Amino acid sequence: MNYGEILEKAWKIIWKHKVLWIFGFFAGCLAKGGGSGGGGSSSLNSGNFGGSPDMNGWFDGGNGFSYQIEQLVESGAIWAIVAALVLALICFSFIIFIVSLILGTFGKIGLIKGTWLADGGQEKLKFGDLWRESTPHFWRVLLLLVLRWLLGLVLTLVLFLPVLLVIIFTLGCGLCLLIPFLIVLSWFITVLFEQSAVAVVGEGLGVMDGIKKGWQVLTSNLMPIVLIAIILFIGSGIIGLLIGLPLIVVFLPAVGGALIGENVAFGVGIALSILMLLVYLPIAIVLSSGLHAYLGTTWTLVFRRLTGREAEDYSK
């Protein structure tokens, strides 16, 4: 397997067919475990908050804020409010999870399908066409993702007690062996299902046949796949770090304002950090989408090359 050809071809494909970046963004939804809840903290505790006459009375007796909370607790209504908030949070998280799963599945399929067509010589890829051609594979790839999750869950439950015992009886020294083992096991499962998904979408196989094909490709070409996995792991790790580093700069004004300790400085720092975040966030999303598109494209090309498919074979 020509590693340079695969890595170069993957870049050429996503650069020429930038529609794959959209599917890369969708595929990235699978890598993100739910949304981040913005917990805006407000500085209402400082003095009278601009001389507001009611702020200092919130925590006084009588009809103050603490009194209202006390009444809610005594009446039991507070628990209904808490239960409603928890239920709303669970429902919101579930909706986010379902949307992320659907978009992530379509993203993975679209990347595989688009790469398969582009490597086969198709000159133009359209979003609508890729989306429509991804639909017939949706349930099979989704089932693959569910099976992967279930396998991970089963292995976690099965290995939890042995791992715990090894840690206890070796006084933690066993982690030196366990961590590499767990990393290799996780890598093996990831690559297996990655290649299985390509088999399902590219060759139109069923779920079990796709897993068998993925297993065959992986076990028959273990060393080449290990090498390409190491290259992608190190490369994507460096790029991901570079994408994330500017976030440190983004939050520096807020940290600086907090260290100064004055309300005006802190407010200005927060405002600058929010502004910088709003400017950089779209850039980070685009770069992250490109990274996911490149990884998906590369794994599809790996499957094609290891199954004897060269670009010229499909260039008619």
Cβ-based neighbours of 222, under 8 Å, separated by 6 or more: none
- pLDDT above 80: residue 94: yes
Go through 53-66 and write b for each residue having 16 or more CB atoms within 10 A of its CB, e for each that does not: eebeeeeeeeeeee
pLDDT of res. 15: 93
CB contact at 8 A, 201 and 112: yes
Cα gap 23→109, rounded to integer Å = 8
Q: What is the pLDDT of residues 108-138, one digit of tens each?
A: 999 999 999 998 888 889 999 899 988 999 9
- pLDDT above 70: residue 51: no
DSSP state of 55: G
DSSP state of 28: H
Cα gap 198→202, rounded to integer Å = 5
Query: In the structure encoding, which two tokens stand for residue 223, read together?
Result: 């060393």
Q: What is the pLDDT of residues 230-253, one digit of tens each?
A: 999 899 899 989 998 888 888 888
pLDDT of res. 183: 83
pLDDT of res. 267: 79
Cα gap 55→15, rounded to integer Å = 57
pLDDT of res. 155: 85
Helices 3-16 and 263-306, packing angle to 10 deg: 120
- Residues 39-47: contacts with CB within 8 Å, 24+ apart? 43/263, 43/266, 43/267, 46/263
- In this structure, of 10-24, 32-46, 63-77, 91-105, the range with the lowest mean pLDDT score is 32-46
Query: In the structure encoding, which two tokens stand for residue 24, read together?
Result: 């890369």
Does residue 250 sit in helix, strand or coil? helix
Does residue 130 sit in helix, strand or coil? helix
Query: In the structure encoding, which two tokens stand for residue 216, read together?
Result: 């065959």
Q: Is 177 exposed, middle or buried (0-12, 13-18, 19+ CB in 10 A)?
A: exposed
pLDDT band at 46 (very low <50, low <70, confident <90, very high): very low
pLDDT of res. 213: 93
Cβ-based neighbours of 155, under 8 Å, separated by 6 or more: 185, 189
For residue 96, how many C-alpha atoms fall within 13 Å in the half-sphere facing its CB? 13
Cα gap 291→24, rounded to integer Å = 7
From residue 63, alpha-carbon distances to 44, 48, 138, 147, 226 in Å are 19, 18, 57, 56, 68
